[in-house]
Structure 1
Amino acid sequence: MPGPEKHSLTLRGHRTSVTLEPEFWQAFAEIARAKQRPVNALASEIDAIRRPGEGLASAIRVYCLNHFRNTGA
């Protein structure tokens, strides 16, 4: 099983990166496609609502988990 991989993102004009397991990155990209949003736009939305002190990668993982829990997919 491959380990986490670094992915570059642009959030509100600023470059950053997140390190996610391939399965989470694929799930995140799938959610973005389903919502017809670019990955960067969805990441910006998650960044804006994440809890203080919560890392962006963790927030993306939780977002993916909640998405699939709520959709029953």
Structure 2
Amino acid sequence: MSARPVKHSLTLRGHRTSVSLEEPFWHAFREIARERGMPLNELAAEIDAARAAGDAPDSGLASAIRVHVLDHYRAAARRGTPET
């Protein structure tokens, strides 16, 4: 997997946007969406809404996705749940 960011397009609330993430983050982000049974765009919109309403509304969507992925796997580690 590449450590260089890879740009993908997402649709958030009817608007297209591009997000650059490293391939391991894209993989983990897709896996989380699959685990939750939701489309990737829906998860991205949820993360974006939380970002905008949270402590760092000026941070970018890519950063918010990375933090979400990290939080997801940290919570799984605390529960002792094996994650993919």
1:16-56 Cα offsets, whole Å, 9 max, x none, are 01000000000000000000000000000000011311100
The SS at the match of 1:10 is strand
Identical counterparts, % of pairs: 63
- The separation in 2 between residues aligned to 1:57 and 1:71, in whole angstroms, is 21
Q: Which stretches of structure 1, 4 residues or longer, exceed 4 Å deviation after superposition?
A: none
- The separation in 1 between residues aligned to 2:48 and 2:70, in whole angstroms, is 16
Residue in 1 that maps onto 2:75: 70
- Structure 2 portions without partners, runs of 5+: 78-82
RMSD: 0.9
| 2:62 equivalent to 1:61 | no
Whose Rg is larger? 2
Aligned length, in residue pairs: 73
**Which stretch shows the higher mean deviation, 48-57 or 33-42?**
48-57
- Structure 1 portions without partners, runs of 5+: none
Normalised to the residue count of structure 2, the TM-score between the two structures is 0.83
- The separation in 1 between residues aligned to 2:48 and 2:5, in whole angstroms, is 20
